[in-house]
Structure 1
Amino acid sequence: MSYRLPTLCRLVLGGLLACLGTSAFAEQVGCVTTEWKLIGSNHKVCVDSFSDPKIPGVTCHVSQARTGGVSGSFGLAQDPSQFSLACRQTGPITLPAKLPKEATVFAEDTSILFKETRVVRMWDAANNTLVYLAISRKLIDGAPANSVSTVPVMPWGGR
């Protein structure tokens, strides 16, 4: 098993943010090769899962494009701002007494400097729904890439 520098950075950053209580630690579900490379790692799309650190009963999956080749193998490539997000209720949801209107629940570097995918949780009180928004810090044609998923807070298993 080989580690790319950004993967190591993601582990360290994820660990630090988890200790601070501001971000979840992702677990890789798997990757699919999208383009075979003769030298270096292949281009791929990887799926990671994470639980909302402050809302038990919510699990999110984020897929992200990962750049291969020689630069990708050494952690020097900039991954494209291409991702998708799906969040679901996977158990009973207990909302904290003071739920902030907005909070970062996941962040992952997608280049060695200044680019990341971030998932922000928002609370839509009027619809009793948790809204998860994935964004890229890199602007593309004047707007950041983004994806949204919602989790209505509902009873779970008769609760």
Structure 2
Amino acid sequence: MKKIMILTCFAVLLSANEHNFIGSVSTAWKLLGKNDRIEVISVKDPKVDGVTCYVSYAKKGGTSELVGLEEDTSDASVSCVQTDSKIVVFGDVKKEEDIFKKRSSILFKKTHVVRMFDEKAQTFIYLVYSDKLVDGSPNNSVSAVPCKQAVGNVCEFKDEK
């Protein structure tokens, strides 16, 4: 029973950070280990089908990455787009909710993608930022996906998936 609980918790943690690696470009050459680079991933919103966010972030390479001690910079960008003919929203959408987070250093630093919903404008806003326990960063990027578009209202709200 204990093993099943541990496996279930692990599976939930993995699914919460589900993303697809798109590619990367080198920004600085390193003799040992991978080069410093910018990586691009796609992230699906678990409660909003039909929206995909593309996140780019700086990644430190070299020997520190080889041993897992790198600290990535807080530079990140997000662009979210409608990727289906209809945006289907499942469940209650909170005012703001993490849809993705990744470790950016060995301790106390994470990069987050947060979904917000502007009810008045019927628009989903996605924010990427980095936090740190002691000294966080104001670096951020924002993207918006409106429900009301030239073709009409593209969002459909449902109770459950």
How would you bin the TM-score normalised by the shorter chain?
A: 0.7 to 0.9
- The one-letter code of the counterpart of 2:63 is V
Quote the Cα distance in structure 2 between the aligned partners of 1:14 and 1:61.
25
Q: Secondary structure at the match of 2:139?
A: strand
- Work out the CA distance in 2 between the residues paired with 1:95 and 1:18: 22
Q: Over the residues paired in the alignment, what is the CA RMSD in angstroms?
A: 2.6
Identity fraction in percent: 44
Alignment check: 8 A CA contact 1:59 1:88 kept: yes
What is the total number of aligned residue pairs between the two structures?
144
| Structure whose alpha-carbon radius of gyration is higher | 2
Cα distance in 1 between the residues matched to 2:136 and 2:94? 29
| Partner SS state of residue 53, structure 2 | strand
Question: How far does residue 24 in structure 1 lie from its aligned partner after superposition?
Answer: 4.3
Indicate yes or no: 2:59 matched with 1:66: yes
Can you give the 5+ residue segments of structure 1 that lack an aligned partner in the other structure?
1-12
Match of 1:36 among 29, 46, 52: 29
TM-score, scaled to structure 1: 0.80
CA distance 1:62–1:125, change in 2 (3 Å) = same
Conserved 8 A contact 1:51-1:58: yes
State the SS of the aligned residue for 2:69.
Answer: coil
Offset of residue 150 of structure 1: 0.5
Which residue is 1:5 aligned to?
none
CA–CA distance in structure 2, aligned partners of residues 14 and 83 of structure 1: 26
User: Could you tell me which residue of structure 1 aligns to residue 20 of structure 2?
Assistant: 27
Structure 2 gap ranges (5+): 1-8, 155-161
Shift of 1:155: 6.4
Partner of 1:84: 77
